[in-house]
Structure 1
Amino acid sequence: MLWSGGTVVRAQSLAVAPGQPQVQLPAQVQAYPVASDARLAGDSRQTRFVLDLDKSVQFRAFVLSDPYRVVVDLPQVSFHLPTGAGTGGRGLVKAFRYGLVMPGGSRIVFDLTGPARIANASVLDSANGQPPRLVLELEEVDQASFAKSLGADGQGPQSTTPGVTVTAATPSGPPTIQPPPTALPANVAPPNAAPDSRPVVVIDPGHGGVDFGTQSGEIPEKDVVLAFGLTLRDRLERTGKYRVVMTRADDTFIPLDDRVRIARNQSASLFVSIHADALPRKEGEAQGATIYTLSDKASDAEAERLADAENRADSIAGINLTDEPTDVADILIDLVRRETRTFSNRFARLLMNDMKSATSLHKRPLKSAGFRVLKAPDVPSVLVELGYTSNKADMENLGSETWRSRTAEAMARAVDSFLAKRVATAAGERSEKPGARAKP
Structure 2
Amino acid sequence: MMSRAGALFVLLASLPAASLAAEIKALRVWASPDSTRAVFDVSGPVEYKLFELENPDRIVLDIKGASIDSGVTTPAGKGLMTSMRVGKQGKSDLRVVFDLPQGVRPKSFLLPPADKFGHRLVVDLYPKTQTKREVVKTIDDVMTGEGRKVIVAIDAGHGGDDPGAVGASGNFEKTITLNVAREVARLVDAQPGMKAYLVRDGDYFIPLKERYGKAREAKADLFVSIHADACPGACGARGASVWVLSPRGATSEAARWLAAKENGADLVGGVSLDDKDDTLAAVLLDLSQGATMEASSSVAQTVLRALGKIGPTHRGHVEKANFVVLRSPDVPSILVETAFITNPSEEKRLTDPDHRAKLAGAIVDGIKGYFTQSPLPGTWFAANIGAKARGGEHIVSRGETLSGIAVQHGVSLGSLRAANRIAEDGAVRVGDVLSIPSG
TM range (shorter): 0.5 to 0.7
Shift in Å, 1:417 = 1.0
* Alignment equivalent of 1:295, drawn from 236, 239, 246: 246
Secondary structure at the residue paired with 2:364? helix
By how many angstroms is 1:363 displaced?
3.1
Alignment pair present for 1:239 and 2:239? no
1:328-347 residue pairs with structure 2 within 5 A?
329-347=281-299
Measure the CA separation in 1 of the matches of 2:322 and 2:132: 29
* TM score, norm. by length of structure 2: 0.56
Match of 1:116 in 2: 46
The answer as to whether partners of 2:142 and 2:150 remain within 8 angstroms in 1 is no
1:220 aligns with 2:172: yes
The reply to whether residue 280 of structure 1 matches residue 232 of structure 2 is yes
In structure 2, what is the Cα distance between the partners aligned to 1:170 and 1:133? 19
Shift of 1:110: 4.0
- Where do 1:5-404 residues align within 5 Å? 98-103=28-33, 106-110=36-40, 112=42, 114-117=44-47, 118-119=63-64, 135=86, 159=95, 169=108, 176-179=124-127, 181-182=130-131, 184=133, 188-189=135-136, 196=143, 197-216=148-167, 217-281=169-233, 284-297=235-248, 326=260, 329-404=281-356
Change in CA separation of 1:297 and 1:333 when aligned onto 2, cut-off 3 Å: closer
Q: Distance in 2 between matches of 1:121 and 1:109?
A: 15
CA contact (8 A) 1:226 1:250 kept: yes
Specify whether residues 408 and 338 from structure 1 end up closer, same or farther in structure 2 by C-alpha distance, changes over 3 A only: same
Cα drift, residue 264 of structure 1: 1.2
Structure 1: distance between partners of 2:109 and 2:84: 28
2:32 maps to amino acid:
M
The residue number in structure 2 matching 1:19 is: none
Distance in 2 (CA, whole Å) between partners of 1:66 and 1:113 is: 13
TM-score w.r.t. length of structure 1? 0.56
Query: 1:363 aligns to what SS in structure 2?
Result: coil
The 3-state SS of whatever aligns with 2:348 is helix
Q: Distance in 1 between matches of 2:291 and 2:332?
A: 9
Distance 1:385 1:273 in 2: 9
Matches of 1:368 and 1:66, distance apart in 2: 38
CA contact (8 A) 2:31 2:37 kept: yes
**CA–CA separation in structure 2 for the residues paired with 1:227 and 1:398:** 9
| Aligned residues between the structures | 298
- Post-superposition offset of 1:349: 0.8
Q: How many angstroms does 1:295 deviate by?
A: 0.7
RMSD in angstroms over aligned alpha carbons? Answer: 4.6
CA contact (8 A) 1:352 1:365 kept: yes
8 Å Cα contact 1:294-1:374 kept in structure 2: yes
Separation of aligned partners in 1, 2:362 and 2:321? 24
Q: Distance in 1 between matches of 2:208 and 2:98?
A: 34
Deviation of 1:61 (Å): 12
Going from structure 1 to structure 2, the CA distance change for 1:134 and 1:66 (only over 3 Å counts) comes to same
The 1:411/1:192 distance shift into structure 2, 3 A limit, reads closer
* Counterpart Cα distance in 1 of 2:96 and 2:369: 62
Structure 2: which 5+ runs fail to align? 1-6, 16-20, 48-62, 69-75, 77-82, 111-120, 250-255, 262-272, 274-280, 384-439
Measured in 1, the distance between the counterparts of 2:206 and 2:150 equals 23
Structure 1 gaps, min length 5: 1-59, 69-90, 124-130, 139-156, 299-321, 431-440
> CA 1:209–1:227 in structure 2 vs 1: closer, same or farther (change >3 Å)?
same
Query: Shift in Å at residue 268 of structure 1?
Result: 1.4
Q: CA shift at 1:62, angstroms? A: 8.3
Shift of 1:325: 7.2
Distance (Å, rounded) in 1 between the aligned partners of 2:85 and 2:98? 13
CA distance in 2, matches of 1:198, 1:113: 51
Preserved CA contact (<8 Å) 2:35 2:124: no
The whole-number CA distance in structure 2 between the counterparts of 1:415 and 1:160 is 48
Structure whose alpha-carbon radius of gyration is higher: 2
Distance 1:162 1:198 in 2: 43
Aligned residues with identical type, % of pairs: 27
For 2:375, the equivalent position in structure 1 comes to: 423
Query: Alpha carbons of 1:429 and 1:389: their partners in 2 closer, same or farther (altered >3 Å)?
Result: closer
Q: Distance in 2 between matches of 1:290 and 1:260?
A: 20
**Of the two structures, which has the highest relative contact order with CA contacts closer than 8 Å and spacing of 6 or more?**
1
Preserved contact between residue 23 and residue 67 of structure 2 (Cα < 8 Å): no
Cα shift at 1:240: 3.2
The Cα of 1:221 is off from its aligned counterpart by 1.1
CA contact (8 A) 1:97 1:211 kept: no
